[in-house]
Structure 1
Amino acid sequence: MRMALASVLAPLWVLPMTGCTKSRFRGWGFSLLELVLVLVITGLVAMVASRFLLSALEAVSVSREYEDQRSEAGFALDRMAREVRGGDVTACESGQLEVQRGGQTFLFEPDDGGLLLEVDGDRGVLIEGLASPDGLTCEEAPWGISDLYALQLNMDSGYEASTHAWQRP
């Protein structure tokens, strides 16, 4: 045992000659070539994985934008339908909806990629992302029912939202 411990701890040139001048511990490590190959293979795997991650992140981003436009279109249609239900429609044509309600005039019309809402001269953007100029369609329902209006918003993403609103007597 003592001899084995001494041979392990001894410097390499003192080790017993076995016909080879290299260290007997050489098999425990990696050569520079092996390390470089591992780094190259790891880099290639990381590059492929990053492409999949980037495409997944892009899909999530597009999905969120689409969902945001969808919810904004729903909000705008709800607002227009509420005004139609509680007011008197004075103009319903392609690109414009005008409603009189409670002594106020509500005007919905597309402008520069957004849907504007004007209440007695005060204008504001209700939603953005509307396909101009045909982003808003308002027409009387084709079924011959009086005071029933078909409202449709066309978003620039291609999403179309529509609803029907009945003007209460």
Structure 2
Amino acid sequence: MSVNEQQALVRVGTQKKDLGFTLLELVIVLALSSVLAVLIARPLASVFETRAFFQDEVAAREELNYALQRMSREVRMANDVDCNSDSFVIKYDENEDTTWEMSSAGVIERNGALFIEQDPGDDFRVVGLECETYEISGSGRDLSEIEFELATGDILGTVVAPRN
């Protein structure tokens, strides 16, 4: 065998060894990939938690806005509204009335039936339902102000006049 043939065989043997990765190289790449994945995953997890938090807030506020709209509609159709500290009675005529009230557990009821039930640990739960009636001077008409006080300290409310 000539020297050129021997060098060619050595090169072929060397090239076969260089075609793959060593175990050490694979372990290093795996470790670096894991560190990179952890660094990327933490901010993403925070984004998803924030998104879920705001989705819960929006859902709770939509539910409370619906309740306020329903109450407002009923007050507009009423002849009179009697307000108490945590409830109010909407009077349509002598035989028909609707009672809205809030229990100590944060449950809002309409005529004794469950209307809104809230999670006690929810930041956007209602902690107070207030109703006040104001007389518009000289007109003989009343305005009713209905408010939900939330655990966050926010107030959701509306002012509406019965048809009297």
Q: What TM-score results when the alignment is normalised by the length of structure 1?
A: 0.75
**Correspondence for 1:94 among 67, 76, 85:** 85
Count residues with an aligned counterpart: 150
User: Could you tell me which amino acid in structure 1 is paired with residue 26 of structure 2?
Assistant: L
Question: Which structure 1 segments of 5+ residues have no match?
Answer: 9-14
Q: CA deviation at 1:163?
A: 0.6
Which deviates more, 92-101 or 123-132? 123-132
1:155 maps to what in 2? 150
Percent identity, please.
27
Question: Which structure 2 segments of 5+ residues have no match?
Answer: 119-124
Once residues 20 and 84 of structure 2 are traced to their aligned partners in structure 1, the CA distance between those partners, rounded to angstroms, is: 81
1:110 maps to what in 2? 102
Cα 1:59–1:137, aligned 2, differ >3 Å: closer, same or farther? same
Q: CA deviation at 1:82?
A: 1.1
Q: Deviations over 1:59-118 (max 9, x none)?
A: 121111101111111111111111111113342132111011253221111111121111
**Correspondence for 1:54 among 23, 28, 45:** 45
Please tell me the root mean square deviation across aligned C-alpha atoms, in Å: 2.8
User: Could you tell me which amino acid in structure 2 is paired with residue 105 of structure 1?
Assistant: D
User: Could you tell me which amino acid in structure 1 is paired with residue 98 of structure 2?
Assistant: F
User: Could you tell me which amino acid in structure 1 is paired with residue 14 of structure 2?
Assistant: S
Once residues 137 and 160 of structure 1 are traced to their aligned partners in structure 2, the CA distance between those partners, rounded to angstroms, is: 10
Q: CA deviation at 1:154?
A: 2.0
Q: CA deviation at 1:142?
A: 8.1
2:95 corresponds to 1:74: no
Once residues 143 and 94 of structure 1 are traced to their aligned partners in structure 2, the CA distance between those partners, rounded to angstroms, is: 21
The answer (yes or no) to whether the contact 1:66–1:157 under 8 Å persists in 2 is: no
**Bigger radius of gyration among the two:** 1
